[in-house]
Amino acid sequence: MTPPLPAITVVTEDGRQLHPAPPRDEAPGVEPLVLTAPTSDFEERGRDYYPTPAWVTEALLESDVPPPVGLIIEPAAGDGAILRVLVAAKRYKQLQAIELREEERGHLIATGADVLIDDWLRASRDLDWMTSVVDKQRFSVVTNPPFSIAIPFATACLSVGACYVALLLPVTCLAGAAASWGPFWAAHPPTALRLVRRRPRFNGNGTDRVGVFWAIWRAGRPVLDMVPV
């Protein structure tokens, strides 16, 4: 069972508050969480775009298949790279794409997914919208989070009550577990890690090769012991 999530407020280094959570009743004893990100990261977020190579998502489906539930949400949908692989798998009845950039709407509609042009950090806290989309059915979240805001983005993915969450993350998130990622892993230990054997190229020219892995949370499974030493 996912522990109660604090209200999330994201602020930039120059003190501007971004993506405030809509008003909601907070869980007893859970303090609000304030996350800080570099100002430039948010101002450049429209360019934080690295389409996931198809074979990386295929590797996930071959090693740890998301359950064939009624709905899969892709909250950083981009041009639909992950969605196209999920469609090709022919296992999932309904796909929901969420993407910040309006110019990707046509690409996402072409996948057959329902499309919302919005910020996931806001949409995930909109209880009315989430209720209307989920409609009491079990659902999964599969995505490659924008790295500039990976921690708040991942936290939001784990806050919405999904029965399965798979996040593609760089291996530096593990190597730096004693620093910025330490509190995240301590609060949200995954049930499985799937290291991608090859380093993918995200921009196609070979300059951005980086080791990545799928972090997986599956309801009802024991969690890993993610204690930094």
User: Which pLDDT score, from 0 to 100, does residue 197 have?
Assistant: 85
Q: Which amino acid is at 98?
A: I
Q: What is the pLDDT along the chain (229 residues), one digit of tens a residue?
A: 434 434 444 444 444 444 444 333 444 444 444 444 443 343 444 456 778 999 999 999 998 888 877 899 999 999 999 999 999 988 888 999 999 999 999 999 999 999 999 999 999 999 888 888 887 788 999 999 998 899 999 999 999 999 999 999 998 888 765 578 888 998 999 999 999 888 776 665 555 567 899 999 999 999 998 776 7
CATH of the domain at 144: 3.40.50.150
Helices 54-63 and 81-89: crossing angle in degrees, nearest 10, is 40
Please indicate, yes or no, if residue 32 is contained in any of the structural domains: yes
Integer Cα distance of 148 and 162 in angstroms: 23
Integer Cα distance of 44 and 219 in angstroms: 35
Integer Cα distance of 60 and 15 in angstroms: 38
User: Which pLDDT score, from 0 to 100, does residue 69 have?
Assistant: 74
Please indicate, yes or no, if residue 2 is contained in any of the structural domains: no
Please indicate, yes or no, if residue 226 is contained in any of the structural domains: no
Please indicate, yes or no, if residue 88 is contained in any of the structural domains: yes
Q: Which residues contact 95 (CB under 8 A, 6 or more apart)?
A: 71, 72, 73, 74, 83, 86, 87, 111, 112, 113, 114
Please indicate, yes or no, if residue 31 is contained in any of the structural domains: yes
Please indicate, yes or no, if residue 94 is contained in any of the structural domains: yes
The H or E element containing residue 175 is helix 172-175
HEC secondary structure over 32-92 = CEEEEECHHHHHCHHHCCCCCCHHHHHHHHHHCCCCCCCEEEECCCCCCHHHHHHHHHCCC
pTM: 0.77
Domain tally, the chain: 1
User: Which pLDDT score, from 0 to 100, does residue 48 have?
Assistant: 65
User: Which pLDDT score, from 0 to 100, does residue 177 have?
Assistant: 53
Which structural domain range is residue 152 located in?
8-218
Please indicate, yes or no, if residue 121 is contained in any of the structural domains: yes
3-state SS class at 17? strand
Please indicate, yes or no, if residue 225 is contained in any of the structural domains: no
What does the DSSP 8-state code read for residue 97?
Answer: E
Measure Cα distances from 141 to 3, 54, 77, 103, 204 in Å: 17, 17, 11, 23, 26
